[in-house]
Copies of this chain bind each other. A is one copy, B any other.
């Protein structure tokens, strides 16, 4: 475990003159902060002796009821007893990995996948096998073939980790036909599905997608979060799991932290009770749609030929692929010198993949800043292309350092 080169770069990148297309931080300035302030004050004044006390390991029962209501928007029918509240959905990931993984066990994940999940799988010495995806998400045939091959070779596959909707980092969404196929493949081969869905309600068009969990309550563990639909500073996420798994999760939870903060759980509950949370999500959707548009337009205008990128219908991220011969990690120091930051693609693979990719986030900067950031980045890429055309290769990344971004970039 060494100090990360990329973190050091991002310490520089946090300066105001740098446009960060790296951060996955939601734009919480769009929240009515005075209203949130009043409701937490009211919470402490009226229910302080509960809110400031220890709570149960499974989480506040009233909040779990409200979570059921939120999940109904994605077709999920669940009861409060199916749910455990967690310290962000990251903790759910950690505890699931803790109860399922022995060193050497296999976890399947999209390639690319969420860097924070890959870090946790690595911490428990799981072997991550990536499954190919395209612009319609995970490819069911690739999933089936990989499972058969792994099982035939005697591997123990513990679960498929998937972000089916507005994926981090790729920005793509698993289509409806494939959803059924993925569930069918996993059912047939006895592979549990862990569905991570932090962005599901942040679609830019039409109704929310139906969650995988909605169609297979026994075969899917579902992870949700208020970090993107409300605010990450509360660290309130949750897991929905069949009772045998949920029982183990609650014991693991108590061993890990005793219980989550009653205060933040009740604050989220108070917000859901007293505020028009559906309208707030609509506000976020419109805000992020405008930024997505700003990014896609700027990419179209500025990027040199040979660059390709995904076109997300929701969420926070565009996934870009550089022309042959370019390396995104090598490009990062130069980009930061030009006052623009991104996350190199290698952090989203466990197998060294992603060297030609970068994750571009449109969630945090204002549209004009996004445009300016993309313009700067395009200039850096063009410079690299000239170098490649002269020397046969662009910059080569230095060796060493940890690839995964810190919490503010995850």
Contacts and interface: CB of A to CB of B under 8 A. Distances in A.
A31 B45 contact: no
Chain A interface size, under 10 / 10 to 19 / 20 to 34 / 35 or more: 35 or more
Interface of A: 1, 3, 25-26, 28-29, 31, 33-34, 36-38, 40-45, 48-57, 87-88, 90-91, 94, 116, 119-120, 123, 227, 231-235, 247-248, 251-252, 254-264, 267, 406-408, 410
B255 A120 contact: yes
A260 B231 contact: no
The majority secondary structure among interface residues of chain A is helix
A53 B40 contact: no
A55 B88 CA distance: 12
A384 to B, nearest CB: 31
Given A56-B408, A88-B257, A251-B1, A48 B25 contact: no
Contact of A232 (B52, B91, B233): B52
A232 B123 CA distance: 29
Given A25-B54, A235-B261, 18 more contacts: A1-B247, A3-B247, A26-B53, A31-B52, A34-B44, A37-B42, A37-B44, A37-B45, A41-B41, A53-B232, A54-B233, A57-B406, A91-B256, A116-B254, A233-B263, A259-B407, A263-B267, A264-B264
Contact of A37 (B41, B55, B235, B262): B41
